[in-house]
Amino acid sequence: MALQEQALAYLDDAALVQLTRDLVQIRSINPPGDEAAVATCVAQRLTHAGMFAELVPHEEAGRASVVGGLRGSGARPALLFSGHLDTVPAGDNWEHDILAADISDGKIWGLGTTDMKAGVAAMLMAMEAIQRTGVVLQGDLLFAGTAGEEVDSMGAQRLVQQQKLSNVGFMVIGEPTTNRVFTAEKGVLWLELSTKGQTAHGSMPHLGVNAIMHMSTLLQALTAAKIPYEKHPLMGDFTMNVATITGGLKTNIVPDACRVTIDTRTVTGQDHQQILDTVRQLIDQLCATDPTFHAEVRTITERVPLDIPLDTASVQTFIRVRDQVTGQTSVPMAATYATDGSVFVPAYNAPMVICGPGLPEKAHQPNEYVDIHRLTEAARIYTLAALELLT
């Protein structure tokens, strides 16, 4: 039996579905994160399968990442499978228990199914299948299960800082793509705007300075500003979303403070510092026209946009395997969201693809699910791609 056929024969679809359910049933909502329980489960799974594993605790209580995998001969650079362990908060309007991982209509339902515990499970099962063949790989096959991707990629950053991964030559990010191949992703620049005013009795607003109204003025100016960018052929347009707002003390008090967070998604060629400078210039202009106007801006988090050349050899190899498994022809695509690749790609100067079984449009949505067909398909893609790249 050929090595590829042997590895595929070791894939257990029922075990893959159960592993996905097991991971979903472990709460890891970020904030606060609580990824340690999921990381421990993954580490135990890797160890039980005869692979190495290291739990990487973080300083924050209940938080951890995990690295592990198969050691190769070192003749080739390592292949990194990357997946995050945290989920976003659930929100409302769910028809299924968010942590039950119910199965119906050929789907697994629950928080984190699409984004991205299904991808994590498929990667782990692919590694187990390869381990069972007994093949000696020419390079390490690594898995990084990271904390904190949904906020600031803190887990990925700390794995890099602590040198927990090395000699990475190519990486597969298992974020949701319905098993399509994305070779680019938008950048992230989250900003916090704050305005300061002066309290006064609500019946005498002229004696105060309304920080909320000043924030409204600043947001209107920012919306009208032309943030420079060139539309990217895959990423599309630069976007900006006013995401949260807080302010005021009581209905009968003029508010003396207001805070807004803004989510911008950047494209290749944009300079995050230039965007920040534009906001500061708007604030300076408003201060110059109104002596009562006081505002500040700070960066909450940022991640660079990525654009991997499509003709990169490892990318082409992965695409060929994916197309063989799915029977489809890949077309160039990009993620509108950011991934841990924004940390790993610059750190290791290595290319990546994003390919996972989840549905991008169901990420951060109520009634999240993953199609079981896509889940098992992803495991086959990962298995064959790893063998192609490392043997």
CATH numbers and ranges of domains, the chain: 3-185+306-390 (3.40.630.10), 187-303 (3.30.70.360)
Mean pLDDT for 33-40 is: 97
Which is it for strands 184-185 and 334-335: parallel, antiparallel or unpaired? parallel
295 Rama class: left (phi>0) / alpha (psi -120 to 50) / beta: beta
Q: What is the pLDDT of residues 302-340, one digit of tens each?
A: 999 999 999 999 999 999 999 999 999 999 999 999 999
Mean pLDDT for 374-380 is: 98
CA distances from 152 to 78, 203, 302, 350 (A): 25, 43, 8, 21
Residue 168 tokens read as 């990475």
Q: What is the pLDDT of residues 241-286, one digit of tens each?
A: 999 999 999 999 999 999 999 999 999 999 999 999 999 999 999 9
Task: Give residue 226's pLDDT.
Answer: 87
Residue 256 tokens read as 């003396």
Residue 180 tokens read as 């399509």
Calculate the CA 325 to chain-centre distance: 25
Bond preceding residue 123 cis, omega within 30 of 0: no
The pTM of the full predicted model, rounded to 2 decimals, is 0.93
